[in-house]
């Protein structure tokens, strides 16, 4: 007998019929002899509707205020609470015993960072007791409570964090993440029509792909799964196709040079020129930017002959408005000839695979493929299992297809 | 400095604009130098919408099941949680510090009777701490938690129960119940156009009027207010008119023979004839009926010469379908000549007043008024402070007007 945690996202529980379909899947899993825990998100557009209500109430006369974050979490936590109760009723209507729990009811304790809280502990005994009593247990994703009882939410991808955390504390055999796609693909199928579903991928590869914009699983959930060695599976809630397993690396995986390719669109490269080449300057620049909660990537520093350096990095285009005033203030403080420029309309194409560690010639093959496709490479950054090239945005789709083909990713492995 | 608890029902918080209006009233009360606690219900039709969702999910194929009551409470408790968060945001938008609490967050512990739980205790220290910190405190009405953390709801009129319970534990100076009427009237103004708003009424009179169908305050809330001597005020959320104060009886109140008149419509009189006149038979009848959760009233027993008795009582018309099979089963068990009949289309007109205890001739004046109005009295029941007459339903409105006039209730006191 196994223990399986299944998570259904907002679209998979958007109405009564879909809730019943998700419930039926849990029942079927239980009838195969497993104990089953279900994690659910808020139904369909519920969270957006609640945010609209908050916006309406925060507009008073001419003034628009930001809602206190504690109260916003108090509000948003109701979304998942509705779904868990309905899921319990659906299972009951199908003739099965079930019980629903909010984050607070299973002692899912977080820190006090409202709207982006981190899980600290879960009282799994309560869940295990109900499982042992033969029930299907339903848990509200995305939410927890602080140790003194304030409701918190876990931020973007929070329900996946709940899924993996439950998998860890319950020592689940597998955590199944039900979405509207069949699994993780070798590249975005909307751009690369012959992209292939990956059967199995390592945590590290998945981490790189998540960071590169594969949106099915957030980096945080994968990090947590890796840390606690939780076997994760991404599956489609609308069919019974096998999904993608995300697991610890096996020696076998190293036979494959490249597991997937990704394209991150709409990047801006910020270059700060003639920065004084002194210890601590780079640290000052990036700590100032970090305070604005903007993620920077692809950092490159070139030291020039005149004791200055050029520092460049990329940010997502949507963050430009936040980061520009900070960079302008920094260049002014650094003084001298220091100045910044901003290059928009960039993309980043990447190849990811743990096999890179042991195979040579991967970078060369990637650069050759891009050259053959007449794609100009503007910057290169690498990690142990990833090669990324900054290119112009208009070259993005053909670059992704070229890299995908160069490593034969559409061939069955 | 006083401490005032204000309750706003569902229509008073139905949208962002009304939430702001309620918030503004709390602010104004605070700025007069009071500490303020707000109790809110779910917005407008929220509870009905949630019940519709539950019904949809409890319909599976051909089968319609009842939702587990625990899960129904888990679902319904979200309604008030949404309102408290929005109310806190509205107060914040108006520039005031506020904090919202669910029933669980203020340790409002109930028994485990889901859908009709009773309050056992409240941890008022948490509220007092926040009041002392200068905040307006918002509490979700209608809900609590069991000692082991299950969500419960308090049944019909539950938010008023929360209001009065908070008033008691916080030793509030007054509990203000904001509704869509100016207060308690000497009779239903829709039937008696010259009905007058009552300025002050005793708990006992209010209890009788609530039991007779005055729907603004439920009997339970008034009982609780009486027990803990909580001063209650019913006020209109749409204006600043003074409302009706419900308070402990004062000697002054006895100068008024009758404080109010009420009409309960759509009653059915159940008569069980030729019941063996033996000890325990009546007890058996009424305990059996009580198990069906039907409220019976106006019980009359006449012992006849042949050692049998006729027992009659009234129930609301809506309860007839529930009670009929029970009564039929009882008469069969009692055997002999025992049989039951059911007289529909009855109403009950009542006069209520603590002054009846010390004034004579009240009953006579009431019967005379009904006779003058050509209303036939079918049954009479009395308590220390109430006289009720069962009449035909079609005579109801004119009977109420006749009683109202007979005691001069429209005259200012």
Model confidence pLDDT, tens digit, residues B252-277: 888 888 999 999 989 999 999 999 88
Range scoring the smallest mean pLDDT among A213-227, A236-250, B172-186 = A213-227
Give residue A251's pLDDT: 84
Chain B hits for A70, CB-CB cut-off 8 Å, are 99
Chain B hits for A92, CB-CB cut-off 8 Å, are 58, 65, 67-68, 71
| Section B1-13 average pLDDT | 94
For residue B174, the domain's CATH number is: 3.40.1160.10
Contact B16 A63 (CB under 8 A): no
Evaluate if residue B340 carries a pLDDT over 80. yes
Domain assignment present for A37: yes
Are B163 and B271 members of one domain?
no
Element at A391 (helix H, strand E): strand A386-392
Range scoring the smallest mean pLDDT among A31-35, A165-169, A214-218, A316-320 = A214-218
Are A169 and A307 members of one domain?
no
Alpha carbon distance A349, A192 (integer Å): 13
Tell me the residues of chain B between 8 and 27 that have a Cβ less than 8 Å away from chain A. Answer: 15-16, 19-20
Domain boundary among A179, A212, A246: A179
The separation between CA B348 and the C-alpha centre of its own chain, rounded to angstroms, equals 18
Q: Write the secondary structure of chain B as one string of H (helix), E (strand) and C (coil).
A: CCEEEEEECHHHHCCHHHHHHHHHHHHHHHHCCCEEEEEECCCCCHHHHHHHHHHHHCEECCEECCCCHHHHHHHHHHHHHHHHHHHHHHHHHCCCCEEEECCHHHCCEECCCCCCCCEEECCHHHHHHHHHCCCEEEEECCEEECCCCCEEECCCCHHHHHHHHHHHHCCCCEEEEEECCCCCECCCCCCCCCCCECCEEEHHHHHHHHHCCCCCCCHHHHHHHHHCCCCEEEEECCCCCCCEEEECCCHHHHHCCCCEEEEEEEEEEEEEEEEECCCCHHHHHHHHHHHCCCCCEEEEEEECCCCEEEEEEEEEHHHHHHHHHHHHHHHHHHCCCCEEEEEEEEEEEEEECHHHHCCCCHHHHHHHHHHHCCCCCCEEEEECCEEEEEEEHHHHHHHHHHHHHHCCCCCCC
The terminus-to-terminus CA distance of chain A in angstroms comes to 31
Are B294 and B162 members of one domain?
no
- What's the ipTM? 0.85
Alpha carbon distance B309, B311 (integer Å): 6
| Section B146-165 average pLDDT | 94
pLDDT, tens digit, 9 for 90 and up, residues B114-151: 999 999 999 999 999 999 999 999 999 999 999 999 99
Evaluate if residue B216 carries a pLDDT over 80. no
Evaluate if residue A336 carries a pLDDT over 60. yes
Domain assignment present for A338: yes
Strands B136-140 and B35-40: parallel
pLDDT tier at A82 (50, 70, 90 boundaries)? very high
Q: Is B115 on the interface with A (CB under 8 A)?
A: no
Q: Using alpha carbons only, what angle is made at residue B408 by residues B402 and B413, rounded to the nearest 5 degrees? A: 150
Domain assignment present for A218: no
From residue B276, alpha-carbon distances to A124, A308, B271, B279 in Å are: 61, 111, 14, 9
Residue A228, classed as helix, strand or coil, is coil
CA distance B233 to chain A (A): 28
The separation between CA A369 and the C-alpha centre of its own chain, rounded to angstroms, equals 29
Contact (CB, 8 A) for A17 and A83? no
Q: Residue A3 gets which letter from DSSP?
A: E
For residue B303, the domain's CATH number is: 3.30.2130.10
Contact B74 A81 (CB under 8 A): yes
Q: Which two tokens stand for residue B255?
A: 């100068």
Q: CB-hemisphere CA count at 13 Å for A390?
A: 22
* Nearest residue to B71 via CA among B146, B142, B152, B154: B152
Evaluate if residue B357 carries a pLDDT over 90. no
pLDDT, tens digit, 9 for 90 and up, residues B67-126: 999 999 999 999 999 999 999 999 999 999 999 999 999 999 999 999 999 999 999 999
Are A292 and A152 members of one domain?
no
pLDDT, tens digit, 9 for 90 and up, residues A199-233: 999 999 999 988 886 667 888 899 999 999 999 99
Are A297 and A175 members of one domain?
no
Tell me the residues of chain B between 143 and 182 that have a Cβ less than 8 Å away from chain A. Answer: 149-151
- What mean pLDDT value characterizes chain B? 93
pLDDT tier at A412 (50, 70, 90 boundaries)? low
Chain A hits for B88, CB-CB cut-off 8 Å, are 68, 71, 74
Selected for mutation to probe chain B from A40, A68, A152 (highest B CB count within 10 Å) is A68
Alpha carbon distance B22, B37 (integer Å): 12
Alpha carbon distance A182, A196 (integer Å): 10
Give residue A99's pLDDT: 98
Give residue B226's pLDDT: 95
Angle between helices A124-132 and A158-169 (to 10 degrees): 70
Residues 6+ apart with CB under 8 A from B98: B87, B88, B91, B92, B135, B136, B137, B138
Give residue A312's pLDDT: 92
Give residue A322's pLDDT: 87
Domain assignment present for A198: no
pLDDT, tens digit, 9 for 90 and up, residues A14-63: 999 999 999 999 999 999 999 999 999 999 999 999 999 999 999 988 88
pTM, to two decimals: 0.86
Nearest-by-Cβ selection for B57 from A16, A58, A68: A16
Residue A213, classed as helix, strand or coil, is coil
Domain assignment present for B355: yes
Q: What range does the domain containing B88 cover?
A: 3-179
Domain assignment present for A47: yes
Domain assignment present for B184: no
Contact A88 B74 (CB under 8 A): yes
Alpha carbon distance B15, A382 (integer Å): 53
Are A175 and A266 members of one domain?
no
Domain boundary among A179, A208, A239: A179
Alpha carbon distance A165, A131 (integer Å): 17
| Section B215-227 average pLDDT | 87
Are B167 and B286 members of one domain?
no
Are B168 and B267 members of one domain?
no
Alpha carbon distance B322, B336 (integer Å): 24
Of B251 and B196, more confident:
B196
Evaluate if residue B214 carries a pLDDT over 90. no
Give residue B251's pLDDT: 84
Contact (CB, 8 A) for B343 and B312? no
From residue A227, alpha-carbon distances to A203, A230, A248, B204 in Å are: 9, 8, 10, 66
pLDDT, tens digit, 9 for 90 and up, residues A366-402: 999 999 999 999 989 888 899 999 999 999 999 999 9
Contact B71 A78 (CB under 8 A): no
| Section A99-114 average pLDDT | 97
Nearest-by-Cβ selection for A89 from B57, B77, B88: B57
Give residue B412's pLDDT: 61
What is the count of structural domains for chain A?
2
Contact (CB, 8 A) for B282 and B301? yes
Q: Is A62 on the interface with B (CB under 8 A)?
A: no
Q: Is B99 on the interface with A (CB under 8 A)?
A: yes
Are A171 and A275 members of one domain?
no
pLDDT, tens digit, 9 for 90 and up, residues A116-151: 999 999 999 999 999 999 999 999 999 999 999 999
Share of chain B above pLDDT 70, in %: 99
Selected for mutation to probe chain A from B17, B44, B89 (highest A CB count within 10 Å) is B89
Contact B16 A59 (CB under 8 A): yes
Give residue A395's pLDDT: 96
- What mean pLDDT value characterizes chain A? 93
Domain assignment present for B317: yes
Q: Is A68 on the interface with B (CB under 8 A)?
A: yes
Nearest-by-Cβ selection for B85 from A71, A90, A105: A71
pLDDT tier at B205 (50, 70, 90 boundaries)? very high
Contact A81 B81 (CB under 8 A): yes
Q: Which two tokens stand for residue A168?
A: 């860890």
| Section B6-12 average pLDDT | 95
Domain boundary among A149, A179, A209: A179
* Phi and psi, residue B304, nearest 5°: -100, 175
Give residue A278's pLDDT: 83
């Amino acid at each position: 007998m196994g223990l399986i945690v299944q998570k259904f996202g907002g679209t998979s529980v958007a109405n009564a019929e879909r809730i019943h379909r998700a419930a039926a899947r849990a029942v079927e899993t239980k009838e195969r002899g497993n104990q089953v825990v279900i994690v659910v998100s808020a139904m369909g557009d519920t969270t957006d509707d609640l945010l609209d209500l908050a916006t309406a109430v925060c507009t008073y006369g001419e003034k628009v205020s930001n809602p206190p974050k504690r109260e916003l979490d108090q509000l948003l936590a109701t979304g998942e609470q509705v779904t868990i109760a309905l899921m319990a009723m659906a299972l009951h209507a199908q003739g099965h015993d079930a019980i629903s729990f909010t984050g607070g009811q299973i002692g899912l304790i977080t820190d006090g960072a409202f709207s982006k809280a981190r899980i600290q502990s879960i009282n799994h005994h309560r869940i295990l007791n109900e499982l042992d009593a033969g029930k299907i247990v339903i848990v509200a994703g995305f939410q927890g409570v602080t140790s003194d009882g304030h409701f918190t939410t876990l931020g973007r991808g929070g329900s996946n964090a709940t899924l993996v955390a439950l998998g860890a504390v319950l020592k689940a055999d597998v955590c199944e993440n039900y979405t509207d796609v069949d699994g993780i693909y070798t590249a975005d199928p909307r751009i690369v029509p012959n992209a292939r579903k990956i059967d199995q991928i390592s945590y590290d590869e998945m981490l790189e792909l998540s960071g590169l914009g594969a949106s099915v699983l957030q980096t945080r959930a994968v990090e947590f799964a890796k840390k606690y060695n939780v076997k994760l599976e991404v599956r489609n809630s609308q069919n019974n196709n096998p999904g993608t397993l995300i697991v610890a690396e096996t020696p076998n995986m190293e036979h494959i040079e490249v597991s997937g390719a990704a394209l991150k669109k709409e990047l801006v490269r910020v270059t700060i020129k003639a920065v004084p080449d002194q210890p601590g300057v780079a640290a000052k620049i990036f700590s100032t930017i970090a305070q604005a909660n903007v993620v920077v990537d692809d950092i490159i520093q070139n030291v020039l002959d005149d004791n200055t350096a050029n520092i460049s990095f990329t940010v997502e285009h949507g963050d430009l408005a936040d980061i520009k005033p900070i960079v302008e203030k920094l260049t002014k403080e650094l003084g001298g000839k220091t100045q910044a420029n901003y290059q928009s309309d960039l993309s980043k194409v990447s190849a990811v695979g743990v096999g890179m560690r042991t195979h040579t010639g991967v970078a060369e093959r990637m650069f050759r493929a891009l050259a053959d496709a007449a794609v100009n490479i503007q910057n290169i950054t690498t990690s142990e299992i990833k090669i990324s090239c900054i290119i112009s945005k208009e070259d993005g789709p053909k670059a992704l297809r070229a890299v995908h083909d160069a490593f034969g990713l559409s061939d069955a492995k």
